[in-house]
Amino acid sequence: MRTYGVERLGAFSDGVFAIVATLLVLDIKLPDPPLPDRELAHELVANVPAFFGWLVSFVVLARFWTVHHHVVDALARVSMSTIVWNFVFLMTISLLPFAASLVGTYEFHSAGPLVAFALGLGLSALTLGLFAHHVARAQHLRREAREDLERVWRHHSLVVPAVAVAASATALLHPAMALAVLTVESVAMFVMLRAPRAETAA
């Protein structure tokens, strides 16, 4: 089986993440030209849904980048299957600005945009889990044994999609609550990733 260096895969992935992070903030903007009969405070309040869409998206994107970096760090080489799985994951990540813009455009008046947003994040988590599963199974590509990869792929393939479905159901009750559910799960994942390093340092 032909293999390749891991450097270009990591560099391209980082580039996609950087572009997505930049595009996310573009939905937070004031009317152009500014309306003379409206105060700045009113315009900022009108941007609250877009701001929350950006905030949750950025937190989730940072979490996905951290997990992706954690998984790629285990690789010494990559195969064509690795590259394909990575592209599938990046394809779902590239849709994140569109999903966030739905939240900013339709605000919290209907559940549909929040359901699409939550399910999009669940799909991204699922593809990241499948990418981690590929790396966990490809012992010939890894530079070291990494038992934690099993936990990563199970969590992202099973738990996060379930959370996304729960957030979608929550959006039917109150759209803004769906963002809170997704944020809590992402923050919890950051804590999980931090815990092993803290124990090691101790």
Residue 83 pLDDT greater than 90, yes or no:
yes
Highest mean pLDDT, choosing among 99-103, 156-160, 193-197: 156-160
Identify the residue with better confidence: 144 or 152.
152
Residue 4 pLDDT greater than 60, yes or no:
yes
CA 90 distance to own-chain centroid: 10
Listing DSSP states for 95-122 in one string gives THHHHHHHHHHHTTS-SHHHHHHHHHHH
pLDDT for the residue 199:
40
Question: Where do the H-state alpha helices sit in the chain?
Answer: 7-24, 40-46, 48-72, 80-93, 96-106, 112-137, 148-154, 160-173, 175-201
pLDDT for the residue 72:
95
Least confident of 20-24, 109-113, 190-194: 190-194
Q: Which helix (H) or strand (E) holds 147?
A: none
At residue 172, what are phi and psi to the nearest 5 degrees?
-70, -25
- The DSSP code for 193 is H
Identify the residue with better confidence: 55 or 128.
128
- Burial (Cβ within 10 Å: 0-12, 13-18, ≥19) of residue 177: middle
pLDDT for the residue 113:
82
pLDDT over 90 percentage in the chain: 38
Least confident of 12-16, 43-47, 160-164: 43-47
pLDDT for the residue 55:
82
